[in-house]
Amino acid sequence: MQDPFDYSRRTVLVTGAAQGFGRAICLAFAARGAQVIACDIQQAQVEETAALCGEGTLAFTVDISSPEAVNALFCTLASHRLQVDTLVNNAGGVVGQSGQPLETVTFTQWQAIVDVNLNGVFLMSQAAVAGMKARQFGRIINISSRAGLDVSLTGIQAYASAKAGQIGLTRQLAHELGPWNITVNNVAPGFIRSNPSTEKQWEAMGSAGQQRLVDNIALRRLGVAEDIAHAVLYFASDWANWVTGQVLSVDGGR
């Protein structure tokens, strides 16, 4: 019986691959034989991810919120005869922002978060899906957040809205793309200390706030980036062949 977690015949593109969840996801697929394409706007860090994954992993610097940049990326991949069959839309975050009252939020601030957390998922999926349809196979896994199902710990309105929108897009695309054997699923992580932004949020909570956060988790501990990578591996695997349009909360239990 073939190992359902053998990805030696897969080409996996991961956005937001410079650190945190994205790096862990790249490492997990590379360790299981996949051709990994690591993408991020941070050049030095994404190249470091590729180096950690080992020979054969490719790194591209790309702004996924730009239609032109996404188109250029897929043209480059096509020129190298690389056909993406597994897309992990992980790029996101609060782009350096912190919570503030609604009346003080500028449209530029709102748009910056929506661009990377929602528009980027749309653009990357749109670019990848033609090849998946042609091969009658594809896996799209989007990384949202607990904020998309509840409220954001940061208090950032655009972040909660964009992640909720991403979950809606996941469900819609699952129905649209199902006839081509393309599954679309979503992983909704809880709070995990995985990058400089989450470290900043953790520190801002103070010891009392940190303890409250942990006390509200059923397992009474924070997760790690590898927990998210493992959920992604499942959705990409043959064990999830009849699973689509789903949201898997990986948050230690609420």
- Rounded CA-CA distance 248/129 in Å is 22
- Rounded CA-CA distance 184/46 in Å is 25
- Tokens for 112, please give them: 């910056």
> 173: buried, middle or exposed (CB in 10 Å: 19+, 13-18, 0-12)?
buried
Q: How many CA atoms lie within 13 A of 211 on its CB side?
A: 3
Q: Is 7 a catalytic residue?
A: no
Show the DSSP H helices in 152-195 as ranges: 157-177
Work out whether strand 182-189 and strand 138-143 pair parallel, antiparallel, or are unpaired: parallel
> Which residue among the candidates 7, 60, 74, 159 is catalytic per the annotation?
159
> 55: buried, middle or exposed (CB in 10 Å: 19+, 13-18, 0-12)?
exposed
Q: Is 154 helix (H, G, I), strand (E, B) or coil?
A: coil
The total number of residues shown for the chain amounts to 254
Q: Is the dihedral of CA 187, 193, 199, 200 positive or negative?
A: positive
Q: Write out the catalytic residue numbers.
A: 159
